Chains A and B, each alone.
Chain A
Amino acid sequence: EAGVAQSPRYKIIEKRQSVAFWCNPISGHATLYWYQQILGQGPKLLIQFQNNGVVDDSQLPKDRFSAERLKGVDSTLKIQPAKLEDSAVYLCASSSPGAFREQFFGPGTRLTVL
């Protein structure tokens, strides 16, 4: 079974530029999560999708961050415009169906904003 795929693995941009990250979850996983992990900290949930609907985006900075999952499969997270404090690893995860819904994580995208 293929794992959660993310691209790119690394991205370096200048502040005020735009950037987009892509995630393809494990086949059959209806729930998809985007997390932000700043160096030295634990990940923080940005947004959770159930199929193509948003379940929780309470911690997503909506003035600059947006995410979509139009067909309920892969997802894109965008930052526009980027700030220095957005430098982090962006992790995508998907969870299996069932009561406990264990989460499986992708390798992450490391973003550096200069």
Chain B
Amino acid sequence: KNEVEQSPQNLTAQEGEFITINCSYSVGISALHWLQQHPGGGIVSLFMLSSGKKKHGRLIATINIQEKHSSLHITASHPRDSAVYICAVKAGGGADGLTFGKGTHLIIQP
């Protein structure tokens, strides 16, 4: 069973700061997701990675398969980025339900 650890659990930063959220997992995977969840809201997929790096607007996600580690970066953070960011991994094979980390609760103060 894959264990997914995220750090930090909680992060408060000032508007404009560069944010990094880390995720590590214990077993090899076929893909890793970064997801965003607003209070009372559903989950939105930000990235799905199997290798390398992806960028979308101010968000950057990287993954190191050998080290079993991924990072999510937010540049020029804004209060609307405040949310819970969740890392989730997918094993290979037919049963591909995600295993989730507990999430990082991010607050960006103006």
Seen from chain A, the residues whose Cβ lies within 8 Å of a Cβ on chain B are: 31, 33, 35, 40-45, 48, 50, 55-56, 91, 93, 95, 100-108
Contacts and interface: CB of A to CB of B under 8 A. Distances in A.
Contacts of A101: 90, 96
B95 A105 contact: no
B25 interface: no
Contacts of A106: 42
Given A40-B102, A41-B102, A107 B95 contact: no
Contact of B45 (A40, A41, A102): A102
Interface residues of B, number: 25
Contacts, number: 60
Interface of B: 4, 30-31, 33, 35, 41-45, 48, 50, 86, 88, 90, 94-103
Contact of B97 (A33, A100, A105, A107): A33
Interface centre among B44, B48, B97, B99 (most CB of A within 10 A): B97
